[in-house]
Structures are given as structure tokens and as C-alpha cells.
A and B are shown apart, each in its own frame.
Chain A
Amino acid sequence: MFDNKYLEKLKKSPGYPSEERLEKGTVAVIECLEEIPCNPCETVCPKKSIKVGKPITNLPEFNDICSGCGKCMVVCPGLAIFMVDKSFSGIEAAISIPYELLPLPGKGDKIVALNRNGGDVCKGRVERVKTGKSFNKTNIITISVPKKFSDEVRFFKLAK
């Protein structure tokens, strides 16, 4: 269902950053393709990098200025925003995922990275666990995976 065709749609949508911006470092990747009346991502962005405007059913439009702060990711009711850092290391990318399950994984944990359909993609590692009161129970887990999988990986499970 959330296959390559879906990824192509995402890449063409106004919320997806340019490939150029993706290469430069941490950036928000908005995966929002339906006209839902919703705009907290626009309200919360300190860089005015996301524009919804009126009516609020407009798809979020992304302008690449993004500092990668992750505020939109935590507030999105659809859990539809990720942070991708293709410059994480020469060969790895870092993917930050909004995460609302307990217990939280720990830094350094080995994981199996999953695609948008929950299928196994590759091995990876938990790089960071961000939590705090202002996150209001939507925590951010950053995982590293081989760079070539960075468009595909959107979730993970702990490796056995």
C-alpha cells in the first residue's frame, strides 16, 4: 500500500524537501497527501518553513529553510513528519521518528529498520532518544541506517 508509487507521490507533494536540501543535513520530511483541516505544523515552525495558509485544508508547503528543530514533528496529529539527515556520516543517514510507545529504546540499541509497510529493510542503531515535558508524550527516536535506505525507512523494531 505504501509502496514506491506512494513514495513518488510524496516526493512530488509540496511538503517534501528538495533532494539538494536533503543532502545538506537534518530537515523535516512532511508526508501529508490529503486535504485535512489541520495546520499546527505551520503555527509551530520558528523558521516559517511550512506554509498551509487558508483554507487550512491546503497541503503543507515546504520551503527548505528548515533548521531541523523537530517542533513540527512532535505537534503533528498525524505523526506524519520525520527528520532526515543524509549527511549524518559518509555512509549513513539519520532518521528521526515520532514515537509513542513504551518502553523507549536506549541509545546504542541495535534495531531492524522498517519501511512504510512495516517490512524489514536493514539493520541499524538507535543514535538518540529525545523526550521531555514539552514533547507531551510524542518522543523522538533517531536511528542510523545505510544512506541508500533513507527514503524508505520510517520505523524500526528492536533487533532480537
Chain B
Amino acid sequence: MEGRFQLKTELAVIGAGPAGLCAAIEAAKNGVDVTIIDENKKPGGQLFKQIHRFFGSEEHLAGTRGFEIGNMLLEDAKKYGVKVLLDSVAWGLFPDLTIGISTDKKVSILKTEKVVVATGAIENSLSFPGWTLPNIMGAGAAQTMININRVLPGKKVITLGSGNVGLIVSYQLIQAGAGVVAVVEALDHIGGYMVHAAKIARMGVKILTNHTITKAMGDKFLEKVEIAKIDSNFNVVKGSEETIKVDLVCIAVGLRPLSELCWMAGMRFEYFSELGGFIPVHDENMQSNIEGIYVAGDVAGIEEASTAMEEGKLAGIAASQALGKLRMGNQEASSILNEARERLRTLRLGPFGEYRYQAKEKIISKYYN
């Protein structure tokens, strides 16, 4: 370690994904001195690998591709003077609202008045014999390789998990030039949107429900997998095993919040399987049980980029208000906050949203109890 620095900022945002960028932009619009910290070389989180169009309505930028939304947010962040610390790992978040940061070989301590934790999520994995072979990877990792790094990790693919991530990444692998043999799903139904499934089905991808991967084989690299039918107790149906030659397995079995900093800061958590696991309890403006620390986006429950952006806006405005920096009256502020909550409600409607809405409501009620 070469040196030790003390930095200061009014609002620190950890994570420059959709939630963090929106929080930072809203606060900077109000004249708050904002520093955003991200461990990557570029800001934007997962937005720049999302080459598909988003759902929602006009107010959620529906029909716009994720990377285009990323560009719009970066432009706004620049316009409003958000400071961005890249290549910087936030390794500590302390109850006195200081943050430990490593940049290159330097360690610094950032003193803040408010913090938004928007650290996102990490992919779940699934182990089976042979799962450590090279080219068995998270679907998100494959998506980063094709859409960010322009590297095609395999030419013949099988995807495990039929949620939206599995379906979308399968489609994008085809766009990148791979052949996707099948999407394998343990449940008896497709997890994600039917329209995403229809899109790849008509391109010849088999969607095999009640199936799983039983083992992966290969000498030095992945060469083939064995798949099999499973019954309603998730036991393999003997005799249904089938070997398929593939050179890439994408595992898309969900995500969980990347919440180490929240635990470290001493936040209170509750378990919500429908949101990906242990979720920090927060109020309707995304403030955690530690005054001055807010959470937004996937770290506050696994959802989508469009919900993450709205949660970020809530946190950014609420933090500005708490700093006494809002450039508007309290009445106007509460109507703006209400509008963001209305937009969130809209995104949490229907069979794919209502259960998330219910869980989010429970989180807020836990905050007050």
C-alpha cells in the first residue's frame, strides 16, 4: 500500500449500475456533491451488455435498448457533475458513514454524509459432476463476453434455467453466432416471459421442461453433457439420460443480492426467496435501518434494470432531502417521490410482478416494526 488518503463527499454511491447512476444523477441535479465508486473500468453496470429492448411504458423508456439507456445515464451524470471513481473497490462501509476504497495500490477513506449502496447482484450457480470444467459459466458471464468483450465463448450451447436471463442470453448467443441446442428447465413450466421463449423456439432452440443436466464431461474442456428428465420430486427418471455434444454451458439459475457491505455496516436483513435471499430492510424511500445509508436496485431485491432505476431515483432524492439540499419545496418533493413509487408499482403488476410488489411491501412494513 503506497499511501493513505482522506477524501470527502456529501453523497457516496457505491456501484455505477442503473440504480447507482440514477441515485447519483438525482442528487447531483439538486446540487449535492456526489461521488460514485465502481470496481469496473467503465460505469454502467450490466446495462451495456443488455442489447435488447426493455419492457414497460414510455416513462420507463420501454422499447429502448439497455446500452442506449446506459449512454443516456452517463451523459446525465456528466452533465450534472457526478464524480466517478472507477477501478475502485469499496471494501468497507462503516456505521459512521465512512467508506474504505482501494484504487490501484492506494487505499483511501471516503468521509460521507449519506451513502447509497447499489452494488447489484451475483449469479447463482448449480453444481453437478464435471461442473468445474472450463466453459461452464454463468449466463451473465457469457453475456459479458459476447456483448462487451466481443468474444464468443462457445459454438454449441446448452442453457440451464428458463428464466428471462436464460432465455435472453440464449437469444443473444444466437445473435453472436452460436448455436443453442436447448434450454433445460427443472420445473414443469418456462420461468421467463413466453415471448422470450417463443423468440428462440422459432429459431429452433428446444425448451426442455422437467429436465436437468446430470453431468458434464470432457478431458481438458467441456465436450458433452448428459441431460435427463426429472420427476416432480426433482429425481432423475432412470433411462431418460441423453448425451449431447456442446462446448458451452450457461447457468441461469437466478441471482442473489451482493450485500456484503450492507452486512458489514450492520443493516437488518429479512429473508425473501422471491427477491433472491436476504434483503436489507428499508423504508419507502429506500433508507436502510442505518440512518443515512440507502439501498437501491438488485441489492435491495432481485428485479430488473427498470425497477433499479426508479429505486435509485427514490434514494437519490430522499438523500438530497435529508441533506437539506432539495431545490424544491417539500410538497413538490413528495409528489416527485410518489410519482417514482407509482412507476415502480406499474412495473410490479401482473403475474411476473405482483409477488415482488407484495414482498417489497413486507420489507417496508418490517422497517417500521
Q: Which residues of A contact B (CB under 8 A)?
A: 1-2, 31-40, 43-44, 55-57, 75-80, 100-102, 114-118, 136-138, 154-155, 157
Contact yes or no, A118 B53, CB < 8 A? no
Our pick among B55, B63, B197, B198 for the contact of A37 (Cβ within 8 Å) is B55
Bound Cα distance A2, B351 (Å): 20
Bound Cα distance A101, B195 (Å): 17
| Contact A40 B195, CB 8 Å, known A35-B349, A57-B353, A75-B63 | no
Bound Cα distance A1, B218 (Å): 31
Contact yes or no, A78 B62, CB < 8 A? no
Interface of A is mostly: loop
Residue of A nearest to B349 (CB): A57
Residues from chain B with a CB closer than 8 A to the CB of A138 are 53
Write out, one digit per residue, whether chain B residues 333-369 have a CB within 8 A of any chain A CB (1) or not (0).
0000000000000111111110000000000000000
| Contact A36 B195, CB 8 Å, known A1-B207, A100-B175 | yes
Contact yes or no, A116 B198, CB < 8 A? yes
Contact yes or no, B201 A38, CB < 8 A? no
B31 nearest CB across to chain A (Å): 34
Contact yes or no, B202 A117, CB < 8 A? yes
Contact yes or no, A78 B346, CB < 8 A? no
Q: Which residues of B contact A (CB under 8 A)?
A: 52-58, 62-63, 65, 174-175, 193-199, 201-205, 207, 346-353
18 A-B pairs with CB atoms under 8 Å apart are: A32-B195, A34-B194, A35-B351, A37-B350, A37-B353, A39-B58, A40-B57, A40-B63, A44-B63, A77-B52, A78-B196, A80-B199, A102-B175, A115-B202, A116-B201, A118-B205, A155-B202, A157-B204
Residues from chain A with a CB closer than 8 A to the CB of B198 are 2, 31, 78, 80, 116
Our pick among A34, A40, A116 for the contact of B58 (Cβ within 8 Å) is A40
Contact yes or no, A40 B62, CB < 8 A? yes
User: Assuming A34-B350, A39-B57, A76-B53, what are 8 further A-B pairs, CB within 8 angstroms?
Assistant: A1-B201, A34-B195, A38-B56, A43-B57, A78-B196, A78-B199, A79-B195, A118-B204
B201 nearest CB across to chain A (Å): 5
Residues from chain B with a CB closer than 8 A to the CB of A35 are 349-352
Contact yes or no, B350 A75, CB < 8 A? no
B175 nearest CB across to chain A (Å): 6
3 tightest A-B CB contacts, nearest first: A78-B195, A118-B204, A57-B350
Bound Cα distance A100, B348 (Å): 28
Contact yes or no, B349 A38, CB < 8 A? no
| Contact A34 B193, CB 8 Å, known A56-B346, A77-B55 | yes
Contact yes or no, B346 A37, CB < 8 A? yes
Residues from chain B with a CB closer than 8 A to the CB of A1 are 197, 201, 207
Contact yes or no, A77 B53, CB < 8 A? yes
Residue of B nearest to A138 (CB): B53
Contact yes or no, B56 A155, CB < 8 A? no
Bound Cα distance A80, B198 (Å): 8
Residues from chain A with a CB closer than 8 A to the CB of B175 are 100-102
Bound Cα distance A40, B59 (Å): 10
Residue in B56, B63, B65 with the greatest tally of chain A CB atoms within 10 Å: B63
Residues from chain A with a CB closer than 8 A to the CB of B346 are 37, 55-56
B270 nearest CB across to chain A (Å): 25
Contact yes or no, A37 B58, CB < 8 A? no
B169 nearest CB across to chain A (Å): 14
Bound Cα distance A32, B350 (Å): 14
| Contact A36 B57, CB 8 Å, known A31-B195, A77-B63 | no
B143 nearest CB across to chain A (Å): 15
Our pick among A34, A75, A117, A137 for the contact of B201 (Cβ within 8 Å) is A117
Contact yes or no, A77 B62, CB < 8 A? yes
B63 nearest CB across to chain A (Å): 4
Our pick among A55, A75, A157 for the contact of B53 (Cβ within 8 Å) is A75
| Contact A2 B202, CB 8 Å, known A37-B346, A75-B63 | yes
Bound Cα distance A117, B207 (Å): 9
Residue of A nearest to B351 (CB): A35
Residue of B nearest to A80 (CB): B195
Residues from chain B with a CB closer than 8 A to the CB of A155 are 202-203
Residues from chain B with a CB closer than 8 A to the CB of A102 are 175
| Contact A37 B53, CB 8 Å, known A101-B175, A115-B202, A118-B203 | no
Contact yes or no, A38 B62, CB < 8 A? yes
Residue in A115, A116, A117 with the greatest tally of chain B CB atoms within 10 Å: A117
Bound Cα distance A145, B351 (Å): 36
Our pick among A39, A43, A116 for the contact of B202 (Cβ within 8 Å) is A116
Bound Cα distance A73, B197 (Å): 17
Contact yes or no, B349 A37, CB < 8 A? yes
Bound Cα distance A65, B325 (Å): 52
Contact yes or no, A118 B202, CB < 8 A? yes
Bound Cα distance A102, B175 (Å): 7
Residues from chain A with a CB closer than 8 A to the CB of B196 are 78
